[in-house]
Amino acid sequence: MAYSSENAISVPIDEVLFETSFNSHFQALYAYACMLVKDEDEAEEIVQTVFLKIWEKRESIAITSSLKAYLYQMVYRDSMNHIRHQKVKQKHQDITLHQINDNGLQMDEGQDHELMDALKKALQGLPEKCRKVFLLSRYETLKYQEIADRLGISVKTVETHMGKALKHLRVELADFLPLLIILFTNS
């Protein structure tokens, strides 16, 4: 990757320059992402992912503005993508519950909330990577290979995380199992 300001020549990013940039900009970018997404864990992941993308593409990226401006722009874009994803995920959950009701399973609003609360609690009980794999599979309907590519892990690791997630959810949501079978076979 080459860094350049308007009046400077390109400077290749090496490990030292990358680490210096990370150390000097991480906290401010993290605070900015927290303000945007309102979630400290997601904000940290967004900023780390931005730096990871820069490192991975260091040979091909040419920054034509200041590095700081470039980093803020990337954090903003990834934060907005995260927010849009959260809205889509919530809409998908709402549609899925309506599909359950349309298929003849009648639940009152209290049961809807009880199921969603139990599902959210069960998902929060999963390790982070395991939860991400499950959500990418079930809510974004990605294939295992696509999930592996997105997360930078092997397909076998994706399979392992899915197995752990499903086992955990079966245990945690045993009272809701008939509803969940319908939920996950219709989505």
Residue 187 tokens, joined: 């989505």
**Chain segment 38-76, per-residue pLDDT in tens:** 989 999 999 999 999 988 888 887 777 788 999 999 999
CA angle 172, 174, 179 (to 5 degrees): 115
**Chain segment 83-94, per-residue pLDDT in tens:** 988 887 777 666
Residue 35's domain spans which residues? 2-81
As for how many domains the chain has, the answer is 2
Q: Which of 63, 81, 99 is the last residue of a domain?
A: 81
Mean pLDDT, the chain, rounded, equals: 79
At residue 125, the pLDDT reads: 87
Q: Are residues 72 and 11 in the same domain?
A: yes
The predicted model gives 100-112 an average pLDDT of: 49
Q: What are phi and psi of 11, to 5 degrees?
A: -125, 120
Q: Are residues 6 and 77 in the same domain?
A: yes
Which candidate, 128, 137, 142, 147, places its Cα nearest to that of 44?
A: 128
The predicted model gives 120-140 an average pLDDT of: 86
